[in-house]
């Protein structure tokens, strides 16, 4: 079945670029497709790029937050990229709670942020492994 919104895998990330008006049906489809792809690809980052979106209502904002929570449950960090200034103002004015969703100015910044976080996680993993080996040697 063809997807309304494509999901692209790039290295350890999934990228969703929303280029159409979001409806309840499309958001539901996106949630299902993302949950499936997060499990299938075992990625560590998700970018939701919304620079083409002119309007985000409270339902869509809440849905993005839910997608971020779904991703977090599957070990994936979400970054919302490309918010237009007027959309950001509207979200704040309507009291939209975007806790758990990091933001970046654009797709490139979002990927840089995720890459930095992924590198930090690898360093931490390496430190844990090194500590285990030191314990075993003692």
23-63 pLDDT, tens digit each? 889 989 999 999 999 999 989 999 999 998 887 888 888 88
Instruction: Please tell me what DSSP assigns to residue 2.
Output: -
Does any domain span residue 30? Answer: yes
What is the domain range of residue 24? 7-137
Distance, in Å, from the CA atom of 41 to the CA atom of 79, rounded to the nearest integer, reads: 18
Higher pLDDT, 96 or 13: 13
Higher pLDDT, 54 or 106: 106
Does any domain span residue 132? Answer: yes
| Tokens 């985000």 sit on residue | 56
Mean pLDDT computed over 65-76? 92
Higher pLDDT, 56 or 77: 77
Kindly report the three-state secondary structure assignment for every residue of 16-85: EECCCCCCHHHHHHHHHHHHHHHHHHCCCEEEEECCCCCCCCHHHHHHHHHHHHHHHHCCCEEEEECCCH
Sheet containing 13-17: give its strands across: 7-10, 13-17, 45-49, 77-81, 102-104
Q: What is the mean pLDDT of the chain?
A: 90
Does any domain span residue 1? Answer: no
pTM score, two decimals? Answer: 0.86
- Residue 98 scores a pLDDT above 80: no
Number of domains in the chain: 1
Query: Given this model, what pLDDT does residue 108 score?
Result: 96
- Residue 88's domain is classified under what CATH number? 3.30.750.24
Does any domain span residue 2? Answer: no
Does any domain span residue 91? Answer: yes
Distance, in Å, from the CA atom of 132 to the CA atom of 23, rounded to the nearest integer, reads: 50
Query: Given this model, what pLDDT does residue 29 score?
Result: 94
């Amino acid at each position: 079945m063809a997807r309304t919104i494509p999901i692209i895998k790039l290295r350890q990330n999934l990228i969703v670029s929303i280029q159409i008006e979001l409806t309840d049906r499309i958001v539901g489809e996106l949630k299902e497709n993302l949950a499936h792809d997060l499990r299938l690809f075992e990625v560590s980052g998700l970018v939701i790029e919304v620079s083409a979106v002119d309007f985000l209502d409270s339902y869509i904002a809440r849905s993005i937050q839910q997608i971020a929570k779904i991703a977090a449950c599957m070990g994936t960090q979400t970054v919302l990229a490309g918010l237009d200034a007027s959309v950001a103002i509207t979200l704040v004015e309507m009291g939209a709670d975007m806790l758990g969703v990091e933001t970046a100015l654009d797709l490139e910044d979002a990927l840089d942020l995720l890459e930095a976080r992924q590198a930090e996680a690898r360093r931490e993993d390496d430190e844990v492994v090194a500590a285990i080996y030191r314990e075993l040697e003692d």
